[in-house]
Structure 1
Amino acid sequence: MMSDTKSVSSNASGSSNKGSSTPANEPSGNIVPTSYMGDFMSFLKGILSFTGDLSSLTCPSFLLNGISLLEYGAHWNDYPHVLAEVTKATDSEERMKLVARWFVSTLYGSYNKRVAESNSGEKKPFNPILGEQFFATWDDPEFGETRFICEQVSHHPPVSALYFENAKAGIYGSGHFSQKSKFKGTSMKVVQEGRVTLRMKNTDEIYCLSLPNLNICSILSGKPFLEMSSTTFIRSSKGYTAEFQWHTKPMWYGEYHKFDGKIFRDSADVYAPNASSQDTIFTIKGKWVAESQITNVKTGEQEVFFDVNAQPSADISIKPVDEQSPLESRRVWQSVSEALTRADYDTASKEKTAIEEEQRALRKGRAEANVMWKPSMFVWIEDADDEDAVKGCYTYLYPAKDSIGNGSWVYKFSPNVKLPPPGNTPSASGTQTPSDAFSTAQSSVI
């Protein structure tokens, strides 16, 4: 059932994976303008001595990339046909293999593409404002439209909730992510908290995914790039598990961006490393920025699992800024992004400060009026209140990956969501001017 990754959709852009020689180490370009080197050194001294979460620090404008963090979530749909093809599998084993393949397909765009294409270092995205929204779509000749929604559901701590679906294929997922960072040695370690839960119409199986940690390397040289680290899991409600180990390059030898993994069936209620209950079916290894292979343990047959360079990612479609609502990412940050494009860092800083001051005033006003802010498109569901299949999957994973937390942000109009009756506490919606980028009617996959 695993399709040839060289089958390219007709409207895919050939620019997204330029050059098969993805940078294996730090880029040649420096993200720090020469005239700002003194400011950069002062910033470094600050983060080296800071003991809290680095996301709370103000980042100099010349280190910003002009993109909201919400847009990063869209990379879950870089290869929409890889997501949709999961529904073609006829058994649980094959479905798990295709879900794992889709997950690997999301990583290059999320964590390496920006540096690989520009050959300059990774810069910091904007911290989304509370209630900020991002919408995007992708079209595929075979599978039709895939759509993506992301909303900032919390500011302290910062949490972004996301939803994606392909109605024609009948597959959809909700999730959330949050990042906590600290300086360790010569790199920044980013712990990603959150989860993604994947569902489809043609099976009652549910897939629960955890997120990798990140290491931002070469910060001191002004040429930062990302490596992934830690272990991530995908657990299906039918007892299948995919386990991935993301390897950082050792100091004196080895290669960057390598990983290995396995897919196994496990009847245990709780994960334990290399437990006797695990029946390994496939092993996987390779580079998540390039090519990986999967091997059938019983037959020894090996095939390409996913190859980043075999095809370009699909074209993303986003509304023009002047057609977006005041809370959509590119409109929120338009003035800052335009200043950054001109390398007018003083103006960028002023515009960014103005946005932040406005948000502080809004928070103060809500507090004084005793108004509780609520997201417009997502609702929090505790695992204890969720369906048994979801509860079972995350109970299995929690001992090994406590960063998944004990609940999920879920799109309000997902078929699986039963909204509680409204309470008596006055509340402010996440948006008073909702975008018509997508209807807020029930999900089309119902």
Structure 2
Amino acid sequence: MSDTKSVGSAASSSSNNKNGASPNEPAGNIVPTSYSTDFMSFLKGVLSFTGDLSSLTCPSFLLNGISLLEYGAHWSDYPHVLAEVTKATDSVERMKLVARWFVSTLYGSYNKRVAESNTGEKKPFNPILGEQFLASWDDPTYGETTFTCEQVSHHPPVSAIYFENAKAGIYGSGHFSQKSKFKGTTMKVVQEGRVTLRMKNSDEVYCLSLPSLNICSILSGKPFLEMSNTTFIRSSKGYTAEFHWHTKPWLYGEYHKFDGKILKDTAAKFVQDGPGQEYLFAMKGKWVADSYVVNQKTGEEQILFDVSAQPAADIIIKPVDQQSELESRRVWHKVSEALASGNYDVASKEKTDIEENQRQLRKERAEANTEWKPTLFTWIDDVDAEEAVKSSYNYLNSAVSSVGTGSWVFNNPLQPLAKSKSASVASGTQTPSDAFSTAQSSVL
């Protein structure tokens, strides 16, 4: 095997990760000592509950002080990794770079908060209907990357996202919804939704499914997150990246490992180890540390992504007093301030005021027979999408049902989206009931 190189142009450090390489239970306990009795009462309710856990009201001392919409911003944590996808000269190299970018999004989304603060995973705020989160990142080479997120549905809760780097000519949109339940002592979170990545210098489209999440060690008050199940990236040119996310075995083994492969598959639907598949690369490693891709013909190993090689870019968010009334940090400002100061009673009151206001707005819309519509995104069924998107998600739907049957798309993307020949009008702005299996209602 040859010396290890890196995918893309980012330099790699040692394979010993210095930023989250020991993702065992965090040292800090998320439950204040004075609230231990309340925590045990909440746990009893959770363990006996049979529906989607999002419908339960979470005690304020278990909230982390940010909206779930902010989690989506981690799709752009490493803007240079996103931008460098456009440097690929062929579909095979491009798939490796898209896989590298996908892995780069995971650490910030699902581990960074615990690894850097050494405190446990806490619950974000459930976004209010129409809530927005806007952010950007500056890169000295690739310029500005922007991110936009909007809560487009409340029942079920669905968040739509859009990100772009105009200088590099790359952009993506998608949406995610979560449903959760307890299994044993672990909270299982199934993520439904998809992300579609496009480039101005290529007609190739990349369609991604989302991983499931396991929140472990909740009973100890020191929760942390692992990923599980299988996710895919499907290229409209017939290439597929398949990721298997592994939780730590009970007695032995390591946290946060994954493996997978990149293959060429011209079939219309995915079949595990199906005939005609050409196995090109193996993938392996830890998504919180370093990972590798191995050429199956030559044995050459390259670093896919290394968390410790370069810190995530600094996120840029407007000050609260410059945000609109629907932007996340302004919506939840009083609650977040109270949580930061440890005043959980005030936080609960402020949160309840927001919830009651939202209930009143829903009541007024119902009485006036008024349909709420998102401002920034529109729902498009797959049947109305361009052929590249339609065929790619048709392929993925045979492997994972969680991608659904349509997409939330940004109203003002980097370039206009192509329409299928059979498309007439986009199929509305409300998520169809058959597009998601997340039918359970939720409380803010």
Same-fold call, TM cutoff 0.5: yes
Distance 1:119 1:422 in 2: 46
What corresponds to 2:432 in structure 1? none
Residue 248 of structure 1, CA deviation: 0.3
Partner of 1:205, secondary structure, is strand
What corresponds to 1:436 in structure 2? none
Distance 2:428 2:73 in 1: 35
Residue 5 of structure 1, CA deviation: 2.6
What corresponds to 1:379 in structure 2? 378
Return closer, same or farther for 1:204/1:21 CA change in 2, 3 Å cut-off: closer
Partner of 1:373, secondary structure, is coil
| Contact preservation (8 Å) 2:378, 2:428 | no
Aligned partner of 1:301: which letter?
E
Q: 2:11 aligns with which of 6, 11, 16?
A: 6
Per-residue CA deviation, residues 182-238 of structure 1 (Å, 9 max, x unaligned), is 000010000000000000000100000000000000000000000000000000000
| Contact preservation (8 Å) 2:52, 2:181 | yes
Distance 2:393 2:157 in 1: 22
What corresponds to 2:146 in structure 1? 147
What corresponds to 1:340 in structure 2? 339
> Is 1:75 the equivalent of 2:74?
yes
Q: How much is the aligned-residue C-alpha RMSD, in angstroms?
A: 1.9
| Contact preservation (8 Å) 2:130, 2:374 | yes
Distance 2:427 2:210 in 1: 33
Q: Note the residue ranges of structure 1 that are not aligned, 5 or more in a row.
A: 9-17, 426-446
Return closer, same or farther for 1:284/1:60 CA change in 2, 3 Å cut-off: same
Alignment length (residue pairs): 417
Return closer, same or farther for 1:264/1:340 CA change in 2, 3 Å cut-off: same
| Contact preservation (8 Å) 2:380, 2:428 | no
Return closer, same or farther for 1:269/1:363 CA change in 2, 3 Å cut-off: same
Distance 2:233 2:147 in 1: 21
What corresponds to 2:399 in structure 1? 400
What corresponds to 2:104 in structure 1? 105
Aligned partner of 2:298: which letter?
T
Partner of 1:44, secondary structure, is helix
| Contact preservation (8 Å) 1:24, 1:255 | no
Return closer, same or farther for 1:176/1:131 CA change in 2, 3 Å cut-off: same
| Contact preservation (8 Å) 2:380, 2:408 | yes
What corresponds to 2:59 in structure 1? 60
Residue 417 of structure 1, CA deviation: 6.4
Distance 1:408 1:424 in 2: 11
| Contact preservation (8 Å) 2:133, 2:149 | yes
What corresponds to 2:362 in structure 1? 363
Q: Note the residue ranges of structure 2 that are not aligned, 5 or more in a row.
A: 1-5, 430-444
Aligned partner of 1:189: which letter?
K
| Contact preservation (8 Å) 1:266, 1:279 | yes
What corresponds to 1:225 in structure 2? 224
Residue 420 of structure 1, CA deviation: 7.0
* Structural mapping, 1:284-363, within 5 Å: 284-363=283-362
What corresponds to 2:433 in structure 1? none
Distance 2:253 2:70 in 1: 32
| Contact preservation (8 Å) 1:5, 1:307 | no
Distance 2:142 2:403 in 1: 31
Distance 1:75 1:254 in 2: 28
Partner of 1:362, secondary structure, is helix
Aligned partner of 1:28: which letter?
A
TM-score by length of structure 2 reads: 0.91
What corresponds to 2:390 in structure 1? 391
What corresponds to 2:417 in structure 1? 416
Aligned partner of 1:265: which letter?
K
Distance 1:133 1:2 in 2: 34
Distance 2:172 2:80 in 1: 15
